[in-house]
């Protein structure tokens, strides 16, 4: 490789790379400060080694532990939330398929009773995955759908109940209260079940995703993130800011519109693709 001095300009270029990947200004600066300190302490003079070190810092930040649904012998509930159009319903279709293939008895709940044809869309996915679906009429109370789904799950011996919710912007107070109610119905309605909730984020989203994660975690329990649309050229760097500020890990990534286009999150691959 060509000769390159490790000076302020070099670090500025690395900062730009992070910003271009949607990591955001403050998190990028934080990461680069850590990098500078390490480069200085370890007296590194090779730009390639500096880049390698940057990757390691990012991987460490993302956490190398495998995450995903815990292995659980008892009943499990998975709630999926997020703003409009990020890929919640599609991710649920993929998850339903994955866990059915792994031998679990899966049930879906269509608690998006608001968007046009939301339940029909989920019904198509339910059919593709070969699972059944609890749904009400358009405009029905989503909490009532959840309540019915919990009862059905208990009665049928469902091992994994996945609940789809309507897309909602986090700054809409009434919609967030609706979600708080759904969360409460789950916690009170089936306390014996192991309850997990994922926030779905679109990889093309910029810094607003930090606010999404923050506000959603105030009204519902959040355990992790499903990062969708990573098959595009967006790199989804904002999850670094979210991990850094809120500690939320990425659990799965969406890499297409097909039923198998869901993968466990791989911090190493993600860090490679950032640049």
Partner 1 sequence: MAFEGLSEKLQNVMKKLSGRGKLSEADVKAAMREVRLALLEADVNYLVVKDFVKKVSERAVGGEVLSSLTPGQQVIKIVNEELTALMGKTQARINYASAPPTVIMLVGLQGAGKTTMAAKLGLNLKKQGKKPLIAACDVYRPAAIDQLKIVAEKAGVPVFEQGQGQPVKIAQGAKAECQRLLYDTLIIDTAGRLQIDQAMMDEVKAIRQAVGVHEVMLVLDAMTGQEAVNVASSFNEQVGVDSVILTKLDGDTRGGAALSLRAVTGKPIKFCGVGEKLEDFEPFYPDRMANRILGM
Ligand X SMILES: Nc1nc2c(ncn2[C@@H]2O[C@H](COP(=O)(O)OP(=O)(O)OP(=O)(O)O)[C@@H](O)[C@H]2O)c(=O)[nH]1
Residue 140 as a binder of partner 1 (CB under 8 A): the answer is: no
CB-based contact 226:254 (threshold 8 Å)? yes
Report the b/e string of 170-187 with b at 16+ CB within 10 A. Answer: beeeebbebbeebbebbe
Residue number, 22 or 112, with CB nearest to ligand X:
112
Residue number, 15 or 183, with CB nearest to partner 1:
15
**160-165 vs 224-228, strand pairing mode:** unpaired
Residue number, 60 or 120, with CB nearest to ligand X:
120
For residue 198, which of 211, 212, 178 has the smallest C-alpha distance?
212
CB-based contact 227:262 (threshold 8 Å)? no
Q: Which of 202, 213, 228, 250 binds K ion (CB under 5 A)?
A: 202
Report the b/e string of 215-239 with b at 16+ CB within 10 A. Answer: ebbebbebbbbbbbbbeeebbbbbb
Minimum Å distance from CB 234 to K ion?
10
In the chain, what's the furthest Cα-to-Cα distance? 68
Residue 37 as a binder of partner 1 (CB under 8 A): the answer is: no
Whole-number Å distance between alpha carbons of 235 and 255: 12
Minimum Å distance from CB 7 to ligand X?
40
Q: Which of 35, 86, 95, 160 binds partner 1 (CB under 8 A)?
A: 86
Q: Which of 27, 89, 97, 205 binds Mg ion (CB under 5 A)?
A: 89
Minimum Å distance from CB 21 to partner 1?
7
Angular region, 146: left φ>0, alpha ψ -120 to 50, beta rest: alpha
Q: Interface with ligand X by CB under 6 A: which residues?
A: 82, 84-90, 112, 115, 118, 167, 169, 200, 228-229, 231, 254-257, 261
Whole-number Å distance between alpha carbons of 180 and 5: 53
Residues that bind Mg ion (CB under 5 A): 88-89
Residues that bind K ion (CB under 5 A): 85, 202
Residues that bind partner 1 (CB under 8 A): 16, 19-22, 24-26, 83-87, 93, 114-118, 120-121, 123-125, 169-172, 202, 204-211, 214, 229, 231-234, 238, 257
């Amino acid at each position: 490789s060509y000769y390159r001095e490790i000076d302020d300009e070099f670090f500025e270029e690395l900062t730009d790379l992070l910003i271009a990947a949607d990591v955001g200004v403050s998190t990028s600066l934080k990461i680069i400060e850590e990098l500078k300190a390490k480069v200085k302490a370890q007296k590194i003079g090779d730009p390639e080694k500096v880049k390698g070190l940057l990757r390691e810092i990012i991987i460490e930040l993302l956490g190398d532990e495998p995450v995903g649904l815990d292995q659980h012998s008892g009943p499990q509930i998975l709630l999926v939330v997020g703003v409009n159009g990020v890929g919640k319903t599609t991710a649920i279709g993929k998850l339903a398929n994955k866990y059915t293939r792994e031998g679990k008895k899966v049930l879906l709940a269509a608690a998006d009773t608001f968007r046009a044809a939301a339940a029909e869309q989920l019904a198509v996915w339910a059919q593709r995955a070969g699972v059944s679906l609890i749904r009400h009429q358009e405009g029905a109370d989503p909490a009532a759908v959840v309540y019915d789904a919990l009862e059905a799950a208990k009665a049928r011996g469902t091992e994994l109940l996945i609940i789809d919710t309507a897309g909602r912007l986090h700054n809409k107070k009434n919609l967030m209260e609706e979600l708080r109610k759904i969360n409460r119905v789950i916690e009170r309605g089936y306390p014996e079940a192991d309850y997990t909730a994922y926030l779905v984020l679109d990889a093309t989203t910029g810094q607003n995703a930090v606010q999404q994660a923050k506000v959603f975690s105030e009204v519902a329990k959040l355990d992790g993130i499903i990062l969708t649309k990573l098959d595009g050229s967006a790199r989804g760097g904002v999850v670094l800011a979210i991990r850094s500020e809120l500690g939320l890990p990425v659990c799965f990534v969406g890499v297409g519109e097909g039923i198998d286009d869901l993968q466990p999150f791989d911090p190493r691959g993600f860090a490679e693709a950032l640049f």
